[in-house]
Amino acid sequence: MRISILYTSIIIGAIAVISSCSAGGENTGYEYAPNMYNSFAYEPMTQLEEEPNTINPHGMNMREPVKNTVARGQFDYGKYDMKVSNESYEASASLKNPLPASAKNIVQGNRLYNINCTPCHGEKGAGDGSIVAAGKFPPPPDYNSDRIKTTPDGKMFYSIKYGKNLMGAYGTTLTPEEIWQVVHFIHSVNGTAPVALSSSK
Amino acid sequence: MKLSKLLTLAVTILLSYQLTFADAAEGEQLYKANCTACHAINEKVVGPALKDVHKRRESAWLLKWIKNSQKLIASGDPVAVQVYKENNESPMLAFENLTDAQITSIVDYIKKESETPAAPVVASTAGTTPSPTDGNTNGTGFYSNGTYYALIVMSLVLAIIVFVLFRIRKVVDSLYEQKYPEAVAAEKAQEVSWKDNKLSFRYKLFKKHPVVGTIVVSLLFMVIFGLLGFDYGNKEIGVQKGYAPTQPINYSHELHAGTYKINCLYCHSGADKSKQATIPSASTCMNCHMHVQAKKEDGKVSPEIQKIYNAVGWDSEKRMYDPSKPKTPIKWVRIHNLPDHAYFNHAQHVKIGKVECQACHGPIETMKVVSQQKSLQMGWCINCHREANVDVANNDYYEKLHANLKIEGQTSITVAQNGGLECGKCHY
């Protein structure tokens, strides 16, 4: 009897010790060689509490690129940098979509639209997306309304890149090329050709 | 003469009909199509709250303002200038395409809405935004608190039953010995210890050849514990499956990706472009949460959403970024972490491979708190590379490969056949 109690307590103790090594909840579990897990070089999206980055602000490993950095293959970099203001919005009407309205661009635009726009604007741009349907967000204007149909391309571009009214700015997630593809897709949804400058005020 | 009189009469009747009966239903439609992007009835959005606007402003002024507010401001109308200044100088769009009747119907609709009492905001938001305290009281794990207590009580009852049974057996034994002492004595006398039984295996092993016995037993122990330990180390050491840390903001993937069906890539916009899926910057949160505040009974912004505002320095009262407020990045806790010596690229898998996020991250859209679902071990990677077929037919990226396969007469190819098992693909 006595021995069996001893054995059980040893087994229970061993289970307790061992299970503290496995991950769960707040515990990452035991790592045999953390040096192999944690990159010696600074890795983005990673920040070690034990060895914080001493060079960058907030101890982050990521850093904003140097001003005027041009990413590889970046499309017309810097051309669309504007100050966010009412004047810029009006001035943006003169911008023209540099991409042809090819099937490839429209399909790409559709893909990006489905990711970034459908929660509010809905699949067909009627302003009936999932968040709007749930009553969490006011409906945006219908793409088939006259106002959107007569909006020049440049203003659409500005609204997507810098935001408009309740809509946020998507310039950080979409590149200019991608925004122009979305503009092409919007035209394919409401059946309009790109609005020429002359027809807008 | 008579005809023209009749005509004018008809027109005036028609017009007045239109004016007086331009009903609120049409107004509602127009309101939702043109106004809701910036206005709400009961609260300030981009523009001011529209409740009782018909009492505050004259209808002639409203007509002028809605048709072209910039013109009215430029003309120096004091009310117009004041409204413009009160609302961060963001101009209202000109609605010159709306007719007077249409604008009147919109105002009629606002009038109707102003008179109906405001719907309680609480009912719609309280249930969907769990506060951190809710999470703690309901138990965050698999069991709710109720089941947990029930389990504890049941195991206590079981322990008592076992204890009582042991006591009863002891009592019965002693009673038996009292009643039949000879029988018990005879039983005890018959029992022969293995130490005296020279034919038993146990005697041969431990009494006759103690060294052999010790070696055999320790070998057995070593094999059993070695296997167990190896299996354990393989599955648990350095494997973070099940890791589910508390995040600085009580963000629920169940609510955003599940209920509201927001695409994963809306926030993790790098997943199809770069090695990292990227944690969204707080500005991505602000796309919606500039407006969505999940207010509680006391009219305050939900404390979890307030954390976003604090991070970006947003003043929810003035509806603008306050440059005097400090900006502090949100310290999200990283969950999925590959060792430094293994290379993984999200864009390869998401964009070219068209792998669903859930294949590696589990049913994210059902998780209130995200936990790591897969082991992220090499065997797990390799297994998928062996089994998964590359969809070469409908993929521009594999055009050349597809053409070559056609020549060879092959129809499908796995990732492994395409070089997905080569060491250097991931370890370099």
> Mean pLDDT across chain A, nearest whole number?
81
Tell me the shortest Cα–Cα distance from B2 to chain A, in angstroms. Answer: 40
Cβ–Cβ < 8 Å for B265, A115: yes
B124 pLDDT tier (thresholds 50, 70, 90): very low
Q: Does B123 touch chain A (CB under 8 A)?
A: no
Using a CB-CB distance cutoff of 8 angstroms, which residues of chain A are in contact with residue B37? 138-141, 165-167
Q: Considering CB atoms only, which of B279, B291, B340 is closest to A45?
A: B279
**pLDDT in the model for residue B20:** 47
Query: What's the average model confidence in pLDDT over B96-122?
Result: 72
- Nearest residue on chain A to B274, alpha-carbon basis: A44
**pLDDT in the model for residue B241:** 86
Tell me the shortest Cα–Cα distance from A32 to chain B, in angstroms. Answer: 6
- Tokens 């997630």 locate to A173
Q: Does A50 touch chain B (CB under 8 A)?
A: no
What ranges do the domains of chain B cover? 18-120, 175-237, 377-428
**pLDDT in the model for residue B132:** 37
**pLDDT in the model for residue A71:** 78
Q: Considering CB atoms only, which of A24, A115, A165 is closest to B263?
A: A115
Q: Is the CB of A32 less than 8 angstroms away from the CB of B33?
A: no
- Of the options 3.90.1170.50, 1.10.760.10, 3.40.1440.60, 3.40.190.10, the CATH number for the domain spanning B18-120: 1.10.760.10
Q: Is the CB of A166 less than 8 angstroms away from the CB of B237?
A: no
What ranges do the domains of chain A cover? 2-59, 86-199
Interface of A with B in 100-139 (CB under 8 A): 114-116, 118-119, 127, 130-131, 134-139
What distances in angstroms separate CA A3 from CA A9, B135, B412, one per listed residue? 10, 44, 62
Residue A198 has pLDDT above 60, yes or no: no
Q: Is the CB of A18 less than 8 angstroms away from the CB of B232?
A: yes
- Across B35-187, the runs of DSSP E, i.e. the strands, are none
Q: Is the CB of B262 less than 8 angstroms away from the CB of A130?
A: yes
Q: Is the CB of B37 less than 8 angstroms away from the CB of A138?
A: yes
**pLDDT in the model for residue A3:** 65
Q: Is the CB of B337 less than 8 angstroms away from the CB of A46?
A: yes
**pLDDT in the model for residue A196:** 45
- Tokens 């006398």 locate to B189
Q: Is the CB of A168 less than 8 angstroms away from the CB of B290?
A: yes
Query: What's the average model confidence in pLDDT over B289-308?
Result: 85
**pLDDT in the model for residue A197:** 41
Query: What's the average model confidence in pLDDT over B11-27?
Result: 58
What distances in angstroms separate CA B416 from CA A105, B354, B385, B388, one per listed residue? 33, 16, 5, 8
Residues of chain B with pLDDT > 70, as a percent, come to 87
**pLDDT in the model for residue B14:** 52
Q: Is the CB of A36 less than 8 angstroms away from the CB of B339?
A: yes
A71-97 pLDDT tens trace: 777 766 677 888 888 888 888 888 888
Question: What are φ and ψ of residue B378, in 5° steps?
Answer: -65, -40
B157-188 pLDDT tens trace: 999 999 999 999 999 988 988 888 888 888 88
**pLDDT in the model for residue B65:** 81
Interface pTM, i.e. ipTM: 0.84
Residue B151 has pLDDT above 80, yes or no: yes
- As a dihedral over the C-alpha atoms of residue B47, residue B48, residue B54, residue B56, rounded to 10 degrees, the angle is -130
Class of domain A86-199: mainly alpha
**pLDDT in the model for residue A79:** 77
Residue B130 has pLDDT above 50, yes or no: no
Using a CB-CB distance cutoff of 8 angstroms, which residues of chain B are in contact with residue A26? 244-246
**pLDDT in the model for residue B142:** 53
**pLDDT in the model for residue A92:** 85
Query: What's the average model confidence in pLDDT over A17-21?
Result: 68
Substitution target in B43, B73, B266 with the highest count of A β-carbons within 10 Å is: B266
Please state, in angstroms and rounded to a whole number, the distance separating the CA atoms of residues A105 and A113: 12
A159 pLDDT tier (thresholds 50, 70, 90): very high
> Mean pLDDT across chain B, nearest whole number?
81
**pLDDT in the model for residue B139:** 40
Q: Is the CB of A60 less than 8 angstroms away from the CB of B236?
A: no
Q: What is the DSSP string of B70-95?
A: HHHHHTT-HHHHHHHHHTTTPPPPP-
Q: Which residue has the higher pLDDT, A96 or B74?
A: A96
Q: Is the CB of A29 less than 8 angstroms away from the CB of B239?
A: yes
What distances in angstroms separate CA B413 from CA B355, B385, B391, B406, B420, one per listed residue? 16, 11, 8, 11, 11
Q: Considering the entire predicted model, what is its pTM?
A: 0.69
Lowest-confidence range among A47-51, B127-131, B263-267?
B127-131
Q: Is the CB of B329 less than 8 angstroms away from the CB of A58?
A: yes
Query: What's the average model confidence in pLDDT over A137-150?
Result: 85
Using a CB-CB distance cutoff of 8 angstroms, which residues of chain A are in contact with residue B279? 45
Residue A2, Cβ density class (10 Å: 0-12 exposed, 13-18 middle, ≥19 buried)? exposed
Residue B270 has pLDDT above 80, yes or no: yes
Q: Is the CB of B97 less than 8 angstroms away from the CB of A147?
A: yes
B27 pLDDT tier (thresholds 50, 70, 90): confident
Q: Does A5 touch chain B (CB under 8 A)?
A: no
Q: Does B408 touch chain A (CB under 8 A)?
A: no
Q: Does B328 touch chain A (CB under 8 A)?
A: yes
What distances in angstroms separate CA A13 from CA A6, A9, A18, A98, B176, one per listed residue? 10, 6, 9, 70, 38
**pLDDT in the model for residue A75:** 66
Query: What's the average model confidence in pLDDT over B53-80?
Result: 79
Substitution target in A45, A46, A201 with the highest count of B β-carbons within 10 Å is: A45
B366-387 pLDDT tens trace: 999 999 999 888 889 999 999 8
Using a CB-CB distance cutoff of 8 angstroms, which residues of chain B are in contact with residue A145? 33-34
